[in-house]
Every structure is written in C-alpha cells, then in structure tokens.
Amino acid sequence: MRNYDDIINTEWPLKNSTRVKMPLEQRAKIFLPFSALAGYDDALKKALEEKQGESSRVDIRENL
C-alpha cells in the first residue's frame, strides 16, 4: 500500500452529512477476493494440470 499512503486516510468532505464514514477495516471487507466467473478457477486448474502433464513428457533439453 506504499503507493496510496498519502491518500488512504485523507479526510474528504462529505456531500451528505447524514452518512457516517465506514471504518477502514469494514471497507477492506468489500474488496475481499471473490470468484467473478463460476468455474473459471476449475478450468484454469485443469489447463495447468494438462500443461504440466505435457511438459513432463517433453524432453527439457528441447526447450533450451
């Protein structure tokens, strides 16, 4: 977070004073990792396993 240290805790003027500023810890929960595409992780794992299977059959010296 070094790049954002100068702005992360900056007090911004609130346009709507009825809203309470959310604590940093709660704001961080909003950005937790999630799977946007169902099945994408499984497809990546399968492709990686297939690629690793192919590379184990190929002589490494061919790639040098």
Do the domain assignments include residue 26?
Answer: yes
Do the domain assignments include residue 64?
Answer: no
19 against 63, higher pLDDT: 19
Average pLDDT (29-56) is 80
Do the domain assignments include residue 34?
Answer: yes
What's the total number of domains in the chain?
Answer: 1
In the chain, the percentage of residues whose pLDDT exceeds 90 is 3
Residue 59 has pLDDT above 60, yes or no: no
Residue range of the domain that includes 30: 5-59
- When pLDDT is cut at 50, 70 and 90, the band that residue 55 belongs to is low
Structure tokens at 16: 């709507």
Q: What is the pLDDT of residue 3?
A: 79
